[in-house]
Amino acid sequence: MNYRFAGRMGRVPASFLEELFRVSGIPGVISFAGGLPASAFIDVEGIREAACEVFDEMGQKALQYTTTDGYLPLREFIADRYRRRLDLPATPEEIQIVNGSQQCLDIVAKIFLDPGDAVGMERPGYLGAIEAFSLYEPDFYSVPLEEDGPDIAAFESLIHDHAPKFFYGIPNSQNPSGRTYSQEKRRAVAEILEGTDTVFYEDDAFGELFFDGKPRLPVKRYLPDQTVISGSFSKTVAPGMRIGWIYAPEPVLREFNVAKQAADLHSNFLSQVILHRYLSTHDLDAHVARVSAVYGEHCRLVCDLLDDLMPPGVTHTTPEGGMFMTATLPDGVSAMELFREGVREGVAVLPGVPFYVDGGGEDTIRLNFSAAGEEEIVEGIHRLARVVRRLAA
């Protein structure tokens, strides 16, 4: 049988994730390669109680079809949180529920992109976004990411020279680097975009997870009508529930709603109702504070171990929040070789190559510090350092 797949499938970069899942499942391998939040913070008992209450009080309704835009009380909760935390004038009408914020990547690309359209991204950029956008056959243009956000001169040049349909960025604790935009650069990004037809796609998957507990003002604060924000409960409550959202201007949501309805009618309604019940009966702020504090301890531990154990030439980012950091390897050490040798040593990392749309990353790795416990982190970084020293010799 000759399966005549669409030409767009050839534009999607080969995914490294299947190999990561395979090696992460090998007994004895300590993995810093995945993107998992800490399982210990998933409140199984609390979610079970919320589910039982939902089944007891509204079981048939919760198991029915619903509207495409999602459960209104949950959208009200999200909008209220934007108003309270970030002083954004969000309304539930501007919020739509999705199957994890990953679905936002697909649908935003679907409603904006024709083949050959320009898309802007950070360099390095989130590999899940690269894969999602690639299906719609755009031309990618990247802007180097500095310690405090994008290279503003390069960003301005990209916007003026290529007029991308949208620029995709993660201002808070970026994946993969862990870097956070300064407020000055957020304002500069907004000023450059104002008056153009380029939308800023603000992926805020990690905005709740700052180690100091202080929220950073989003780009949308400075550019409300040109910015869409995606968010998710995957990093703060439970990724398996697959509940995220988009917060966007009405003209964008109108098209988004059409595309989502065609894709899946609506997101999992049962999960939406259970999640709302859970959020209504538990203190999300206190939960997030506990999670962020532990992630901060883990991040500092990884940074200290890298500084103490790695050979000369290894540098790393120092995140203010989130779940990830990147490390640059000594001259001549290949990230792919480190991945292969690391698995033999019992430690897995993610090579940097998949995060670059225009080549690069051969000498960088991404490290996740949220999933492993402290003892695993210590042993895992010792194993990793042994491999790096051997390859650098």
Q: What is the pLDDT of residue 276?
A: 98
Q: Do domains 7-43+286-392 and 65-281 have the same CATH topology?
A: no
SS3 assignment, position 316: strand
pLDDT tens by residue, 81-98: 999 999 999 999 999 999
* Of residues 355, 377, 364, the one with CA closest to residue 295: 377
For the chain, give the percent of residues with pLDDT over 90: 93
* 316 has a pLDDT exceeding 90: yes
- The predicted model gives 197-223 an average pLDDT of 97
pLDDT tens by residue, 33-49: 988 999 999 999 999 99
Per-residue CA distances from 209 to 92, 275, 276, 303, 370 (Å):
23, 19, 20, 18, 11
Q: What is the pLDDT of residue 207?
A: 97
Which residues are within 8 A (CB) of 322 and not within 5 positions of it... i.e. 6 or more apart? 172, 173, 174, 175, 178, 206, 209, 295
pLDDT tens by residue, 95-112: 999 999 999 999 999 999
* 20 has a pLDDT exceeding 80: no
The answer to whether the bond into 124 is cis (omega within 30° of 0) is yes
Q: What's the pTM? A: 0.95
* 113 has a pLDDT exceeding 90: yes
* 13 has a pLDDT exceeding 90: no
What residue type is assigned to position 239 of the chain?
P
Strand partners, 188: none
Q: What is the pLDDT of residue 7?
A: 87
CATH number assigned to the domain covering 7-43+286-392: 3.90.1150.10
Question: How does strand 139-146 pair with strand 149-150?
Answer: antiparallel
pLDDT tens by residue, 42-84: 999 999 999 999 999 999 999 999 999 999 999 999 999 999 9
pLDDT-derived band of residue 159, with 50, 70 and 90 as boundaries? Answer: very high
Q: Rounded distance, CA 236 to CA 279, Å?
A: 11
Looking up tokens 């409550």, which residue turns up? Answer: 237
Q: Rounded distance, CA 230 to CA 244, Å?
A: 7
* 158 has a pLDDT exceeding 90: yes
- In b/e form, how buried is each residue of 206-222, taking b as 16+ CB within 10 angstroms? bbbbbbeeeebebbbbb
CATH 1.10.540.10 fits 65-281, yes or no: no
Q: What is the pLDDT of residue 34?
A: 86
Q: What is the pLDDT of residue 58?
A: 95
157 burial via Cβ count (<10 Å: 0-12, 13-18, 19+): middle
- The predicted model gives 354-364 an average pLDDT of 95
**Which structure tokens are listed for 61?**
């309704």
pLDDT-derived band of residue 335, with 50, 70 and 90 as boundaries? Answer: very high
For the chain, give the percent of residues with pLDDT over 70: 99
SS3 assignment, position 12: coil
Domain map (residue ranges) of the chain: 7-43+286-392, 65-281
